[in-house]
């Protein structure tokens, strides 16, 4: 196994733990500001997960295109978190 594979497996485990924990918390704290923040975190983590694992299509898509897609998903995740956080803080 290469170092990149080990890192991807490790980050996969971290992503799954975060999604599992926050999904359980979402059920417990449905509604209100806490529920909105939990949803923000879940969507952001899912977008960052997609950004990290777009590398799977390395053999099918050009490297420059993959980097563009990865950058777009990362930017979308962080922008969603920033905009949603500002909305929650403003309300």
Percentage of the chain surpassing pLDDT 90?
Answer: 62
What average pLDDT score do residues 61-77 get? 94
Taking only the tens place, the pLDDT of each residue in 22-36 is 999 988 888 888 888
Tokens representing 85 are 């956080």
Instruction: Return the residue matching tokens 């929650």.
Output: 88
Rounded CA-CA distance 46/58 in Å is 20
């Amino acid at each position: 196994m290469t170092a990149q594979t080990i890192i991807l497996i490790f980050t996969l485990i971290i992503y799954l733990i975060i999604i599992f924990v926050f999904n359980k918390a979402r059920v417990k704290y449905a509604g209100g500001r806490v529920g909105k923040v939990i949803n923000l975190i879940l969507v952001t983590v899912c977008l960052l997960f997609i950004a990290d694992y777009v590398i799977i299509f390395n053999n099918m898509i050009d490297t420059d295109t993959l980097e563009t897609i990865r950058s777009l998903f990362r930017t979308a995740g962080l922008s969603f978190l920033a905009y949603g956080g500002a909305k929650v803080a403003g309300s």
